[in-house]
Structure 1
Amino acid sequence: LINARDAKTGEVGAFDVDLQPIIEALASQAAVALDNQLLLDKQRKLLESFIQVIASAIDAKSPYTGGHCQRVPVIAEMLAAAACDSESGPFRDFALSEDEQYELYIASWLHDCGKVTTPEYVVDKATKLETIYDRIETVKTRLEVLKRDAEIAYLKAATEPGADAESLRAEFEARLAELDDHGAFLENANLGGEFMADEMIERVQEIAALSWRDASGQEQPFLSENEVDNLCIKRGTLNDEEREVINNHIVMTIEMLEQLPFPKTLVRVPEFAGGHHEKLDGTGYPQGLTGEQMSLPARMMAIADIFEALTAADRPYKKAKTLTESLRIMSFMVKDQHIDAELFRLFLEGGVYQRYAEAHLLPEQIDDVSIADYLG
């Protein structure tokens, strides 16, 4: 509203005196509207910054999950964009408004906010025997005690009249080799991984049945019951109790987010953020939702969270997986009805995995992928 224009000639002129109050009122309303929009933009930026500060704090809480809260939104946004861009197939009619995209964006940043309540000793448990320190060092000390005892027994026997020194020496060296092998095996078992074979569990139990004498001379089992239980963890480094503690983070995420007075445009943030550990067959947690009960954005979040976790190079119990390894595992999850098959197809055919890999994975993780191998 700079000035009036003649309706016929278009020439700029002065406003009629009678119109000036109306024009001034309109100008005032426009100024108020601009101020309100600027305030809304500032509030939005403040909200985003606050959310990112929380996410960064969660990542900084553990050196083993640093960056997870920042990388999951990247994958979720890529997958959502691929679905919106689909011109054929099951997502050809899928669309997210600007508000819905923002809702997913906020949810993906907050999907692990409940981890602020998770104890560090659980999040940071790098090996199966780790507590305040890694108890594998105590186990190695016991092995040294057994080696010492073996040496003492050998030296005593070797000094006996008529002793076969050569045979005794061979037995002693064989015993040392056996103990060294036990030690190497236990160190490897302590590291954790994606799977532990039954044969390895049996060997842990066999070693546990050995005995040693403590500082007071009392005979003790080589491994305590707690040490055996932890060394026999089949996947990762957490035992059942610790797994329950860390799984509780998603319950806390939902509870925390449901307490926030989100506006209508963000009302589904708790659902999106709280659904990334649910599975289509209903065996996920915390609510045991089925695929029909999960929204599409929540299913996108699940894929984003899984792919980031598989390819992450900062997890304590495993090395970073390559693209082919990660996608193979996810294809099995599709067959087991844990993740959405159509979204996984889009994840592959839309090149989401490749674009993310080029920006965030280590060069040695990016191998040649034939997506046909992972599509049923």
Structure 2
Amino acid sequence: MTEADFYELKTAAWLHDCGKVVTPHHVMEKSRKLETVIDRIGWVEDRLEILLRDLRINALELKIQVLEQGANVLADLESLKEREQTLLEDMAFLHQCNMGAEFVTDEDLLHLERIRNYVWADKKGHERTFLTDDEYRNLCIRRGTLNPEERKIMEGHMTATLSMLEQLPFPEHLKNVTEYAVCHHERMDGKGYPRGLSRDQMSIPARIMGIADVFEALTAPERPYKQPMKLSQALAIMGRMVEDNHLDPDLFQVFVEEKVYMTYGAKHMKPEQMDEVNLQELKGLNRSVV
């Protein structure tokens, strides 16, 4: 690539997400799964306090029986204590789920289903399930914090980007800016967006944009919806994305071999993110040249 080529690619990089100006703020900045105007995890905590209150009342009633009747209620008290500990652990689990991990396991979903079916009584004495349908649905999000409807809205930023850039009268030396800018969410297998292009339909600079965008998104320290990842974790995810035909395998090979991640990390990442990467265990690479 010539200096002019790099300038064209750099211009595309600056413009690649310009369509986000039309994305609703509450979607783009959604940092927790239960977040709307507020983080609804507080409402869930209130319900937990009601369940804990009832357990503690039951424990006090049992202790009164001991004092008044000499009843043997040790087993019942122990059961209530175990139940209280389970509820506290469940709340910690819900907080973790609410954060939006990269991967949610089937076991996690079973745990959520069990918690969902707890019963609590509201102020009027009406019994309700512990999690509402909408809370449960959002907590079951497998990756990130956006539900399908919100993700669709988020993906719309690429349609907006394409529409905006296609209307700009770029000069000849910037004629490829639109193609480079709007391809960073395309996939090698043609299942990406906004145009569903496959690997052979995209130029090399356009495919470079995809790798750069993913790596920056995984490691960026200022994203409100996730914690910045360490190098090893980010590259492990990218390796799996290569195997899933999401990212270009040849360019990922170059990205790793030339240690582009180290050059970038030294400038833009926190020191605690710069951990050691085991290339022998990294997926998505051609082992003959590692």
TM-score normalised over the length of structure 1: 0.71
Match of 1:143 among 35, 48, 61: 48
The range that moved more, 288-297 or 365-374, is 365-374
The offset of 1:157, in angstroms, is 4.4
Residue 154 of structure 1 contacts residue 169 of structure 1 at CA under 8 Å; is this kept in 2? yes
Deviation by residue 1:258-282 (Cα, 9 ceiling, x = unmatched):
1112222222211111000001111
Q: Is 1:120 paired with 2:28?
A: no
Match of 2:115 among 195, 207, 229: 207
Deviation by residue 1:330-375 (Cα, 9 ceiling, x = unmatched):
2222222222222222222233222111111111221234546542
Where in structure 2 are the equivalents of 1:224-239 lying within 5 Å?
A: 224-239=132-147
Partner Cα distance (1:228, 1:168) in 2: 31
Partner Cα distance (1:340, 1:298) in 2: 10
RMSD (Å) for aligned C-alpha atoms: 1.8
Where in structure 2 are the equivalents of 1:1-376 lying within 5 Å?
A: 95-96=1-2, 98=4, 100-160=5-65, 161=69, 163-369=71-277, 371=279, 373-374=281-282, 375-376=285-286
The range that moved more, 358-367 or 170-179, is 170-179
Residue 191 of structure 2 contacts residue 197 of structure 2 at CA under 8 Å; is this kept in 1? yes
Residue 275 of structure 1 contacts residue 301 of structure 1 at CA under 8 Å; is this kept in 2? yes
The offset of 1:234, in angstroms, is 0.8
Residue 31 of structure 2 contacts residue 226 of structure 2 at CA under 8 Å; is this kept in 1? no
Tell me the equivalent position of 1:14. none
Partner Cα distance (1:182, 1:211) in 2: 14
- 1:301 to 1:172, Cα distance in 2 relative to 1, 3 A: same
Partner Cα distance (1:179, 1:336) in 2: 38
Residue 218 of structure 2 contacts residue 234 of structure 2 at CA under 8 Å; is this kept in 1? yes
Residue 323 of structure 1 contacts residue 369 of structure 1 at CA under 8 Å; is this kept in 2? yes
The offset of 1:295, in angstroms, is 1.1
Deviation by residue 1:80-130 (Cα, 9 ceiling, x = unmatched):
xxxxxxxxxxxxxxx3362x3322111110000011111111122111111
Aligned positions, number: 281
Partner Cα distance (1:246, 1:202) in 2: 28
Partner Cα distance (1:219, 1:336) in 2: 45
Deviation by residue 1:33-90 (Cα, 9 ceiling, x = unmatched):
xxxxxxxxxxxxxxxxxxxxxxxxxxxxxxxxxxxxxxxxxxxxxxxxxxxxxxxxxx
The range that moved more, 158-167 or 235-244, is 158-167
User: For structure 2, which runs of at least 5 residues remain unmatched after alignment?
Assistant: none
Partner Cα distance (1:213, 1:303) in 2: 50
Partner of 1:281, secondary structure, is coil
Residue 100 of structure 2 contacts residue 143 of structure 2 at CA under 8 Å; is this kept in 1? yes
Partner Cα distance (1:112, 1:351) in 2: 26
The range that moved more, 148-157 or 248-257, is 148-157
Q: % of aligned pairs identical? A: 47
- 1:151 to 1:323, Cα distance in 2 relative to 1, 3 A: closer
Partner Cα distance (1:192, 1:163) in 2: 48
TM-score normalised over the length of structure 2: 0.90
